[in-house]
Amino acid sequence: MFKNIVLTTRQKEETIDVTPLIEEVVRESGFKEAGVFVYVPHSDAAINIQGIAQNPSSSNPPLNRLLKKVLEEGQDFQTPEVGAAFVAPTEVLIALEGKLMLGEGQRVYFYEFNGPRQCNLYVLVIPSA
């Protein structure tokens, strides 16, 4: 099952927790066991799996601190495309019993580096044999 999720970003640089959107695609697929491929078809946006921030009331994932530091200090990291390449355009997950197999506290984050705009997030759910 393939689904294109259209995201609307509101800031030049923004991080969005897309875990619930991907979980919904997995539920819609009806597959009990599957590979879940998530791809961002933009050179200036990315996707990443990581644990939630240490402060549960913060929606700011830990990678954001590192990215801010690298993007502000590194002269070579001044373009949105370099920021996106630093994170990556693709993640692969596993679904079991119709649910994503994420570790405790893990979430899937979409990274915008050149907003605001509409972006695509492709999700492909392939059942196991």
49-73 confidence digits (pLDDT tens): 988 755 444 556 666 666 666 666 5
pLDDT score, position 13: 85
Band of pLDDT at residue 113, cut at 50, 70 and 90 = confident
Q: Contact, 61 vs 52, CB < 8 A?
A: yes
pLDDT at residue number 51: 83
Q: What is the pTM of this model?
A: 0.82
Q: Give exposure, 44-55, as e/b (b: 16+ Cβ within 10 Å).
A: bbbbbbbebbee
